[in-house]
């Protein structure tokens, strides 16, 4: 495994060009660039972080277009995910817009989602999550995820945490964009710090969902 030295400019250029020409002919002509400038640095970065956070899944570049209206064959980003519970963990991604870090849960079965909502509804654990998210917002994190437009069944519209109860997924993200540090070895320390900041929320979610079969 190579040492992480940062994401090169060539990685950003590759995704810029791929967004314009998302074809097999472009991919075949530039797959060596992807391997050397995108995949290899991502593997090196996740290897550096693995002792603290665990092994990462570095996603394949091919899109599943079987049921998609958009038939372009390749993803216009490269992501890696460290899971600690079903669909729950930490994330890092590079694309034409630079580098982004994140964490949370990106989907849930009905049983797991019910467990998360029960914990949000609970006065103690619900307020705990509110405080964790408020702290992260102050640190510059954005809170996102798929949300219902109306209240979930079984909860009052005037529930004090109704906005959180509407979430069907809950993610946090931070954009590092094109900051010069993304091209340096020190960016591994930035991702490490970001994931450490997210750990309390990731563990809060995992504690509610990982025990379910």
Each residue of 87-115: pLDDT tens digit? 999 999 999 999 999 999 999 889 999 99
Distances in Å between the Cα of 97 and the Cα atoms of 47, 94, 126, 149, 178 are: 23, 7, 34, 29, 7
pTM above 0.75, yes or no: yes
- Under the banding of pLDDT at 50, 70 and 90, the label for residue 213 is very low
% of the chain surpassing 90 pLDDT: 90
- Looking at residue 211, its pLDDT comes to 57
Helix (H) or strand (E) holding 206, with range, is helix 187-209
- Looking at residue 69, its pLDDT comes to 83
What is the token pair recorded at 17? Answer: 């060009």
Q: At what angle do helices 187-209 and 123-138 cross, to 10 degrees?
A: 170
> Can you say whether the dihedral through the CA atoms of 131, 136, 138, 142 is positive or negative?
negative
- Under the banding of pLDDT at 50, 70 and 90, the label for residue 212 is very low
Tens of pLDDT, residues 20-44: 999 999 999 999 999 999 999 999 9
Mean residue pLDDT across the chain: 95
């Amino acid at each position: 495994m190579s040492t992480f030295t940062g994401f090169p400019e060539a990685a950003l250029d590759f995704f810029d060009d791929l967004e314009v020409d998302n074809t097999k002919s472009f991919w075949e002509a530039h797959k060596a660039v992807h391997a050397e400038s995108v995949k290899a640095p991502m593997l090196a970065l996740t290897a550096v972080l693995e002792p603290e956070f665990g092994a990462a899944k570095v996603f394949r570049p091919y899109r599943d277009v079987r049921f998609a209206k958009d038939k372009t064959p390749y993803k216009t980003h490269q992501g890696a995910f460290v899971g600690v519970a079903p669909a729950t963990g930490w994330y890092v991604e590079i694309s034409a817009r630079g580098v982004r870090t994140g964490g949370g849960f990106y989907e849930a079965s009905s049983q797991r989602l019910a467990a998360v909502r029960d914990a949000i509804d609970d006065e103690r654990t619900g307020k705990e999550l509110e405080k964790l998210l408020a702290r992260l917002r102050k640190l510059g994190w954005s809170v996102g995820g798929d949300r219902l437009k109306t209240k979930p069944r079984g909860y009052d519209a005037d529930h004090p945490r109704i906005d959180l109860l509407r979430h069907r997924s809950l993610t946090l993200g931070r954009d590092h964009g094109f900051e010069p540090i993304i091209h340096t070895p020190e960016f591994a320390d930035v991702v490490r710090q970001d994931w450490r900041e997210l750990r309390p929320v990731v563990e809060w979610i995992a504690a509610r969902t990982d025990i379910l079969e």
